[in-house]
Structure 1
C-alpha cells in the first residue's frame, strides 16, 4: 500500500517538473502583447510590439496586459488540470487493487 502511495507522490513530482518545461501563451490585439508562462503558472516572458506601444496609452496597455496574462494563466490551468486528471486516473487505477477491485 505504501509503495503505491509513494509511487503516486513521485508521479506528482514528475508532473510538476514536466509542467515547468511546458510553455503556454496569451496574446491580445493580434499579437501586439504576448505573455509566455509555464504550465505551473509562472510568467516567463512579456512582449509588447513597439509600434503598438508607441500608439497606445498607459491605461490601454495595462488593461490588455491583464487580459493577456489571464489568457496565459487559463491555458496553464487547462494543461495542468489535464495532466493531473491523467495522473489521478492512473493513481486510482493502481490503488483499486489495494481494495480488492
Structure 2
C-alpha cells in the first residue's frame, strides 16, 4: 500500500514539474489574430502575454474605431491563446495523473 502511495506521490511530483515546463514553453508559443479586414494584427503568447500589435494607419485617424478594433481583436486573440494553453496543460496533467480507482477526472 505504501509503495503504491509513494509511486503516486512521485508521479504527481513529476507531473507538477512537467506542468511547469509546459507553462515555460507556452511563453514561446505565439498566437496570431487579426481583424476581419486585416487592419489590426495582434500576437500573444499562449500564456496570454501581448508580444506585438500592428495598426493600419487608417485606424489611427478614428479613436473610437481603433478602440473597437482593439477590443474585438484582443478578445479573439485571448480566447485563442486560452484554448491553446488549456489544451496543452490538460494533456500534460492527464498523462501524469496516477491511476486512482473511482477518480476519472479526464474522460
TM-score higher than 0.5: yes
Q: Is the 8 A contact 1:27 1:35 kept in 2?
A: yes
1:25 Cα deviation after fit:
1.6
Q: Is the 8 A contact 1:26 1:70 kept in 2?
A: no
Structure-1 separation of matches of 2:38 and 2:22 = 30
Q: TM (normalized to structure 1)? A: 0.84
CA RMSD of aligned residues (A): 1.7
The structure where helix makes up a greater share of residues is 1
Structure 1 stretches lacking a partner, 5+ long: none
Counterpart in 2 of 1:74?
A: 79
Structure 2 stretches lacking a partner, 5+ long: 1-7, 103-107
Counterpart in 1 of 2:92?
A: 87
Of 19, 40, 45, the residue aligned with 1:38 is: 45
1:89 Cα deviation after fit:
1.7
Question: Aligned with 2:83: secondary structure?
Answer: helix
Counterpart in 2 of 1:14?
A: 21
Q: Is the 8 A contact 2:59 2:65 kept in 1?
A: no
Q: TM (normalized to structure 2)? A: 0.80
